[in-house]
C-alpha cells in the first residue's frame, strides 16, 4: 500500500484484516457485525464521546487515572476501586509492555506467572491475550466509560479486540506511539498501521457507533515545546479524520509554566479546526486532554501531591476537557490502588474549586498564544508543502528533514537536533532550533527569553541549563537554577 492521507480502500482493509486477526488466537472471536451490535447495546453513560460532549457543553474538566494489571478479576477490582474510592470520571485499561510490542507469547507467560504467584507480573492489562469476552467483562463491571491506553506502534489487533470488547476510546497514533517509544520502527509503517486503526473506527462510526480517538500529546514528556506536540497532534487528527474518525481528543503534556500551558490548551483546538477546514475534511467533535507532569517526580509524597495539584490547577484554568492524573508514587514505580485513588481525589478537589474561574487574557497570555499559533503553523505549513498537500507523505519527509523534531526521542527516524530549555519564568523555549522552520522573529523571541535567564543566573546559556531543567522538578523546582 502506497502511503497517502486518503481513506484506505475496502479491499486493502480486508486484506490486512485477515492477517491482523490471525496474529493471535483471540482474533478469531472478533466479528464486526456482532461487535457493532454489542457497542450499540452499551448505555450512554459508558460511551466516551457522549460523556465528553456533555462535559464540553457544560464546561466540565473530568479526571482520569491510568491503571492496569495482568489478571481479569484483579484488573476489575482495581478499576472499581478507582471509580468508587477515587471518584474517577473515566477509567483506563493501560496495556502491558509485551502487548505493546506484539509479543503475545511472553504476555501469556506473564499471565500464567501472575496467576501462579498471586500478584501482577505485567505492568498492564494484556487485552489481546484475554480476548473479547474478557474485555466485555471489564466494561460491564464498571459504571463509567473505559479507554485503552498503551504505547503500541502496531496497534491493529489490540484495536480489533478492545473495540469489539466494548471499549469506547482508543489512544495513540502513528507518530506519538512510535517516535517516543521505538528505536527502529519507520514512521511510514506506523502511519499505515494507525490508518488501519482509524479506518476500523471509521467503519464503526458508519454503523452508528461512536469511538473516540485520542492522539498521545506529551510525546517524550521531557521539555517538549508546545508547537512540536501541537503539530504532531494536529497531524494525527488529520490522519484520523481522513479515515472516518469523527470524535477527537487532542492531548498536551504539562510544561509547568501556567501561562504557557493555558495558552497551549487554548490554541490546540483552534489549530486542529483550522487545518481540518484548510484540507477540506469534515467537521468533527474536538475536545482536549491535559496530562499532569510527565517528567521526573519528587520521591516525597507531600511534594508529589504538590506537583499533582499544580497540574490540576492548570487543567482547570486552561479549561481542558479532561486531565490524566498522576500519583504520589510516581517516582517509586507502579502505584498502589490507594495512591492512585488519592491522586484522583486531590485533582478533583481542585477541579471543583476552580470550575468557575479562568485565567484572564493578559498581554503575556496573548503573546504566548500568538507565538504558539505562529510556531505550529510554520511547522504544519512546511509539512504540507513537503507532502505536496498530503499530510501523511509530508510527515515522513518532515521527520527526514528535521522539520518535526521531538526532543530526547529514541527513534533513529527523529533528527534529535533541537535543544529545549526553560526561560527564567519556566516556559519552554529552544536553545538550538535544529531544522525547525521558524522565521527570525520567532527565533529572536526564543533567544532573548533564554538570554534573560542567563543574565538572571549569571551564566551563559548552554547544555547545562537543559540538564538542570530535566532534573529540576524532582528536586523541588521548575527552573533548574545553579546552586548558590
Task: Please check if 62 is assigned to a binding site.
Answer: no
The active-site residue out of 100, 199, 382, 481 is 100
| Residue in 128, 7, 138 with CA at minimum distance from that of residue 74 | 138
- Reported as a single tens digit per residue, the pLDDT across 132-162 is 999 999 999 999 999 999 999 999 999 999 9
Please report the pLDDT score of residue 484 as a whole number: 64
The active-site residue out of 171, 236, 368, 375 is 171
Task: Please check if 297 is assigned to a binding site.
Answer: yes
Ordered domains of the chain (ranges, CATH): 10-353 (3.20.20.240), 363-475 (3.90.970.10)
Please report the pLDDT score of residue 483 as a whole number: 81
- Find the DSSP H helices in 295-358: 301-317, 337-354
What's the predicted TM-score (pTM) here?
0.97
CA dihedral sign, ordered 65, 68, 235, 294: positive
Task: Please check if 177 is assigned to a binding site.
Answer: yes
CA dihedral sign, ordered 99, 101, 107, 110: negative
377 is known as an active-site residue? no
Please report the pLDDT score of residue 199 as a whole number: 98
Task: Please check if 40 is assigned to a binding site.
Answer: no
Task: Please check if 113 is assigned to a binding site.
Answer: no
Q: Which residues of the chain have pLDDT under 50?
A: none
Contact 217, 252 (CB under 8 A): yes
Task: Please check if 446 is assigned to a binding site.
Answer: no
171 is known as an active-site residue? yes
Q: Which cell is 66 given?
A: 491510568
Please report the pLDDT score of residue 333 as a whole number: 84
Please report the pLDDT score of residue 264 as a whole number: 98
| Beta bridge partner(s), residue 250 | 288
Distance of CA 239 to the CA centre of its chain: 15
Cα gap 21→156, rounded to integer Å: 9
Please report the pLDDT score of residue 207 as a whole number: 98
- Find the DSSP H helices in 85-218: 97-100, 104-117, 127-140, 156-164, 187-206
Amino acid at each position: 500500500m502506497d502511503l497517502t492521507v486518503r481513506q484506505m480502500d475496502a479491499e486493502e482493509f480486508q486484506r490486512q484484516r485477515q492477517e491482523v486477526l490471525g496474529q493471535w488466537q483471540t482474533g478469531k472471536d472478533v466479528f464486526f457485525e456482532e461487535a457493532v451490535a454489542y457497542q450499540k447495546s452499551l448505555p450512554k453513560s459508558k460511551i466516551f464521546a457522549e460523556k465528553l460532549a456533555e462535559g464540553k457543553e457544560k464546561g466540565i474538566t473530568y479526571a482520569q487515572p491510568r491503571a492496569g494489571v495482568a489478571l481479569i478479576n484483579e484488573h476489575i477490582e482495581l478499576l472499581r476501586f478507582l471509580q468508587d474510592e477515587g471518584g474517577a470520571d473515566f477509567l483506563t485499561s493501560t496495556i502491558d509492555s509485551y502487548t505493546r510490542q506484539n509479543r503475545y507469547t511472553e504476555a501469556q507467560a506473564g499471565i500464567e506467572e501472575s496467576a501462579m504467584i498471586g500478584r501482577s507480573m505485567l505492568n498492564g492489562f494484556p487485552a489481546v491475550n484475554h480476548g473479547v469476552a474478557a474485555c466485555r467483562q471489564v466494561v460491564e463491571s464498571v459504571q463509567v466509560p473505559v479507554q485503552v491506553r498503551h504505547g503500541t506502534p502496531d496497534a491493529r489487533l489490540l484495536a480489533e479486540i478492545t473495540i469489539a470488547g466494548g471499549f469506547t476510546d482508543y489512544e495513540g497514533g502513528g507518530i506519538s506511539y512510535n517516535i517516543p517509544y521505538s528505536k527502529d520502527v519507520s514512521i511510514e509503517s506506523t502511519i499505515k498501521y494507525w490508518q488501519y486503526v482509524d479506518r476500523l473506527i471509521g467503519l464503526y462510526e458508519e454503523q452508528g457507533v461512536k469511538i473516540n480517538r485520542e492522539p498521545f500529546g506529551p510525546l517524550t514528556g521531557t521539555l517538549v515545546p508546545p508547537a512540536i506536540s501541537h503539530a504532531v497532534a494536529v497531524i494525527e487528527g488529520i490522519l484520523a479524520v481522513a479515515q472516518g474518525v469523527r470524535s477527537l481528543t487532542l492531548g498536551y503534556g504539562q510544561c509547568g509554566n501556567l501561562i504557557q500551558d493555558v495558552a497551549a490548551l487554548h490554541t490546540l483546538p483552534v489549530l486542529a479546526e483550522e487545518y481540518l477546514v484548510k484540507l477540506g475534511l469534515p467537521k468533527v467533535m474536538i475536545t482536549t486532554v491535559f496530562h499532569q507532569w510527565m517528567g521526573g517526580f519528587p520521591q516525597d509524597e507531600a511534594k508529589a501531591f504538590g506537583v499533582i495539584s499544580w497540574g490540576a490547577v492548570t487543567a482547570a484554568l486552561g479549561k481542558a476537557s479532561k486531565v490524566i492524573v498522576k500519583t504520589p508514587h510516581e517516582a517509586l514505580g507502579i502505584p498502589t490502588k490507594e495512591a492512585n485513588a488519592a491522586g484522583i481525589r486531590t485533582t478533583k478537589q481542585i477541579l471543583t474549586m476552580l470550575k468557575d474561574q479562568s485565567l484572564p487574557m493578559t498581554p503575556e497570555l496573548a503573546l504566548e498564544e500568538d507565538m504558539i499559533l505562529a510556531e505550529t503553523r510554520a511547522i504544519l505549513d512546511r509539512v504540507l508543502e513537503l507532502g505536496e498537500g498530503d499530510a501523511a507523505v509530508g510527515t515522513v519527509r518532515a521527520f527526514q528533514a528535521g522539520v518535526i523534531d521531538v526532543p530526547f526521542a529514541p527513534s533513529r527516524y527523529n533528527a534529535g537536533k533541537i535543544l529545549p530549555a526553560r526561560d527564567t519564568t519556566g516556559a519552554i523555549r529552544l536553545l538550538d532550533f535544529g531544522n525547525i522552520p521558524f522565521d527570525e522573529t520567532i527565533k529572536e523571541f526564543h533567544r532573548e527569553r533564554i538570554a534573560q535567564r542567563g543574565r538572571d543566573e549569571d551564566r551563559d546559556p548552554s547544555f547545562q541549563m537543559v540538564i538542570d531543567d530535566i532534573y529540576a522538578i524532582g528536586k523541588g523546582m521548575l527552573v533548574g537554577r545553579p546552586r548558590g
